Amino acid sequence: MINRTMAHRHFADEEPLGKRVWLGWEEDGVRRGGEIVGIIDDVRQFKLERAAEPEMYVAYAQTPVRQMTVIARTTAAADAVFSAARAAVARIDRNLPLFELSTLDRRFDEAASRPRLYMSLLTTFAVVALVLAGIGLYGVLAYAVRQQTHDLGVRIALGAERGDVIRLVLGTSLRVTAAGAALGIAAALALSRLMRSLLFGVSATDPWTYVGVAAAWRAWASW
């Protein structure tokens, strides 16, 4: 059995099923390998942020190894399963070591703990930065409107409607917001490579993230 990454990388233009592969070594003069009989989904064996690598799965009876990982699907409690696993191994050979017993949820939590910590810190800093940027934007717009007070008074005296004055003020705020959003998106795209190692299941240039941030910025400016 081979995973999808191996199928795409080594058999992109042909059907992999039925092909024969060599594992790269010989035992007793026999080249270890076999015929590809199926394709399975990728598994991230090492880190969540690390891309899947080409992999093959072979039958233990064909290619024995000195150690293995056994995964059991069950609805029983973890402690009961661990006890049953120890008893099953002991019945086969009491000298066989059994170590690193754990649940899949615990394994996933351990693998994701550091990225979660980094993302929590980055989220906190991002919220603080957004608040500070909003306060700064409010100050800039307030100053810009104050500078236009005389002009606005003249327009009102000449018969400008309230809606016209509001559109004028909002137009100024939108120009400042658009310029800031453009610069911010350009900087974010330039720094997106630094974020790829902390992301899983989402692209560093995810369009919905940029749209959401820009919308939040726009809403803050309008408010």
DSSP label of 63: S
Percent with pLDDT over 90 in the chain: 8
> Does 87 reside within a domain?
no
> Does 83 reside within a domain?
no
> Does 153 reside within a domain?
yes
Residues pairing with 40 in the sheet:
3
> Does 94 reside within a domain?
no
pLDDT for residue 4: 93
Residues 214 and 154 in one domain: yes
| Boundary residue ending a domain (37, 68, 99) | 68
Give me the domain span that covers residue 147. 112-222
Residues 120 and 215 in one domain: yes
With a cut of 90, say whether residue 201 has pLDDT above it: no
Residues 49 and 116 in one domain: no
Nearest to 201 by CA among 2, 19, 52: 52
Task: Give long-range contacts, CB 8 A cutoff, 24+ apart: 33-36.
Answer: 34/58, 34/62, 36/1, 36/2
> Does 151 reside within a domain?
yes
Residues 40 and 132 in one domain: no
Residues 157 and 56 in one domain: no
How remote is the C-alpha of 183 from its chain's centroid? 24
Residues 61 and 150 in one domain: no
| Boundary residue ending a domain (43, 68, 93) | 68
Domain count, the chain: 2
| Boundary residue ending a domain (13, 48, 68) | 68
Dihedral, 174, 180, 184, 186 alpha carbons, nearest 10? 90
> Does 62 reside within a domain?
yes
> Does 206 reside within a domain?
yes
C-beta of residue 1 within 8 angstroms of C-beta of residue 62: no
**What integer is the mean pLDDT of 45-74?**
80
> Does 189 reside within a domain?
yes
Tell how strand 30-35 and strand 20-27 pair up: antiparallel
Residues pairing with 56 in the sheet:
2
Q: Which residue has the higher pLDDT, 141 or 8?
A: 8
Residues 52 and 119 in one domain: no
DSSP label of 205: T
Residues 52 and 116 in one domain: no
Residues pairing with 52 in the sheet:
none
Residues 218 and 117 in one domain: yes
pLDDT digits (tens, 9 = 90+) for 141-200: 778 778 777 877 777 777 777 777 777 777 777 777 777 777 877 777 777 666 666 666
